[in-house]
Structure 1
């Protein structure tokens, strides 16, 4: 997610804009997880979002490593999402930086 915000920082004109966009991005990703309630107990539309949310996989991996439970799947998904974010947003952020300087 850092590369996403580096890109936003390069494209935005003011620090307040970056902060607002970061909040609007992180709020649904953080609270739309299985952190508080199991995904099976959520309504269908929210369960769909929770199951594809990258932060859910990080939380499931952390929970499995801390208290025991399955970790192979969540860790694999976490690594996949991390690699995807870096592969997409790092080149875009570097390009935006080079264009600006």
Structure 2
């Protein structure tokens, strides 16, 4: 079994359990500290998740198993957030 008490990549790791109305998340900070949180499947929930991560979007690695279609919104939002390094709803193209 892997030792997950120390994150050697200096990235923040996020594991998501996807559901229809909410997602359960386990966040592992580079220090090894873990945060367990339930977020709503809404924009506010996604923003809360990233605020708890406390790092730049490029330093976040997210993993989840796609569940029905419930994963699509958060997957798209996280993808845009990471590329824009901004909120995808307020980002403008150059």
Alignment TM-score, normalising by the size of structure 2: 0.30
Alignment TM-score, normalising by the size of structure 1: 0.28
Which one has a larger percent strand, Structure 1 or Structure 2? 2
The structure, 1 or 2, with the larger RCO (C-alpha pairs under 8 Å, 6+ apart) is 1
Which one has a larger percent helix, Structure 1 or Structure 2? 1
Q: Which structure has the bigger radius of gyration?
A: 1
